[in-house]
Amino acid sequence: MDLPRTADVVIIGGGVMGTSTAYHLALKGCRNVLLLEREPFFGIQATGKCAGGIRYQFGTEINVRLSLLSLPMLDRFEEELGQPIGLRYCGYLFLLTREEDVEAFRRNVEMQHRLGVMTQWLEVDEIARMVPLINLEGVLAGTFHARDGLADPNSVVQGYVAGARRLGARLLNDVEVTGIEVAGGRVQGVVTHRGTVATPVVVNAAGPWAGEVGRMAGLDIPIVPIRRQIVVTGPLPEVPPDFPFVIDFAQSLYFHREGPGILTGMSNPNEPPGFDQSVDEEWELVHLEAAMKRMPILEKATLASHWAGLYEVTPDAHPILGRVPELEGFYIIGGFSGHGFMHGPACGLLLAEEILDGRAHTLDVSSLSITRFREGRLIREYNVV
């Protein structure tokens, strides 16, 4: 497809945030929507390399409210868009090994209950009955919510791509954005290696590359890329079908069923910012040693696959959502700090409302404005993995 010369909105980035925004703009009647993805396929970078988790268990009210809006949208996804997304409600089980985490999670569970998320508080004997394959050495308590679970990121992206196109939006692959034209304090156009598109509105949905896109427009956007990596094992028939998404919170170590095996990851707290997506084999050994200690059955597992991807991280582990006041027509949807996939449906809708209606009205997300960094209104998320 040829690159159009004009568009009402140009979205940069074809992961879950960009495609959800394109779909919801088109659904609200914005027909001249153009999405540009530099890769040959949509959703193969940060979205496609994530663990696919979806959860209500967060430590701030805004993130819980985003889940309360977004996860029901995933429930309706196949009905609305005709695309199965592999929804599986296995539940998230957080294991707590530090007293300070126990106290923080008690407060978080109270807040979740107040918002209608009925997370269970579990004592160690209850956890032992739920996950007999897990070594509970050092575990003090845990939390579990049965409606947390998993979905397939690629299917969600493809559903939004097909839905947006049916509604008249144009979504193009293999188009690299090289510049953003700005004049008089507002967006004028987007420059690509295939030509320039005049537009009054640009959406930065570039995920880990959001900071680079911001610099094209002369903006300093506090989103940095951080490498994270995942291992998937060969078959482990002893793992039951209802095995939950288990998170050893203090270690940022997690496990969930992936086909006949186990998917496991562990965040490296000393990982420097950067775009390196090669597997750090030294860290993988540290990760696997910790994983085998917590889940001893992994000692006999084979390696099916492993990969690295990028988190898009902000200073307070919350996304930036909405307009940038100093550049009219420039919007950001990014910086989700490892929990973006599950909030993609809601945030695409909310950004479409802000662009077309002047503000997001389904949910007040003004606290997620980029202005919070200048104004000292940071809202730290405790439940980051």
Token pair recorded at residue 1: 């497809």
Looking at residue 223, what is its pLDDT?
98
- CB-CB contact of 157 with 19 (8 Å): yes
How sure is the predictor about 49, in pLDDT bands with cuts at 50, 70 and 90?
confident
Residue in the structure block whose two tokens are 């700005």: 182
How sure is the predictor about 374, in pLDDT bands with cuts at 50, 70 and 90?
confident
pLDDT digits (tens, 9 = 90+) for 141-191: 999 999 999 999 999 999 999 999 999 999 999 999 999 999 999 999 999
**Alpha-carbon Rg for the chain in angstroms:** 21
pLDDT digits (tens, 9 = 90+) for 318-329: 999 999 999 999
Range of weakest confidence among 61-65, 73-77, 379-383: 379-383
pLDDT digits (tens, 9 = 90+) for 330-342: 999 999 998 899 9
Looking at residue 175, what is its pLDDT?
97
Residues 6+ apart with CB under 8 A from 114: none
DSSP state of 4: P
Looking at residue 253, what is its pLDDT?
98
- CB-CB contact of 17 with 334 (8 Å): yes
DSSP state of 182: E
- CB-CB contact of 252 with 266 (8 Å): yes
Token pair recorded at residue 56: 């209500």
Looking at residue 321, what is its pLDDT?
98
Q: What is the mean pLDDT of the chain?
A: 96
- Break the chain into its structural domains and give their ranges: 9-50+153-223+316-375, 92-145+226-313
Looking at residue 339, what is its pLDDT?
87
Residue 122 exposure: Cα atoms within 13 Å on the Cβ side: 23
**pLDDT at 220 > cutoff 90:** yes
Query: In the predicted model, what is the mean pLDDT of residues 234-258?
Result: 97
| Correct CATH for 9-50+153-223+316-375 of 3.50.50.60, 3.10.20.30, 3.90.580.10, 3.40.50.800 | 3.50.50.60
For CA atoms 328, 344, 27, 194, give the dihedral sign.
positive
Query: In the predicted model, what is the mean pLDDT of residues 198-202?
Result: 98
Query: In the predicted model, what is the mean pLDDT of residues 196-206?
Result: 98
How sure is the predictor about 383, in pLDDT bands with cuts at 50, 70 and 90?
low
How sure is the predictor about 382, in pLDDT bands with cuts at 50, 70 and 90?
low
Which residue from 145, 187, 207, 199 is spatially nearest to 19, judged by alpha carbons? 207
How sure is the predictor about 379, in pLDDT bands with cuts at 50, 70 and 90?
confident
Looking at residue 137, what is its pLDDT?
98
How sure is the predictor about 2, in pLDDT bands with cuts at 50, 70 and 90?
confident
| Correct CATH for 92-145+226-313 of 3.40.50.2000, 3.10.150.10, 3.30.565.10, 3.30.9.10 | 3.30.9.10
**pLDDT at 313 > cutoff 90:** yes
- CB-CB contact of 161 with 36 (8 Å): no
Cβ atoms within 10 Å, residue 282: 9
* Amino acid code (one letter) for 41: F
Looking at residue 207, what is its pLDDT?
97
**pLDDT at 51 > cutoff 90:** no
For CA atoms 324, 22, 346, 28, give the dihedral sign.
positive
Token pair recorded at residue 46: 């940060």
- What is the spatial distance between Cα 59 and Cα 312, in angstroms, rounded to a whole number? 19
Dmax over CA atoms of the chain, in Å, equals 64
First to last CA, the chain: 40
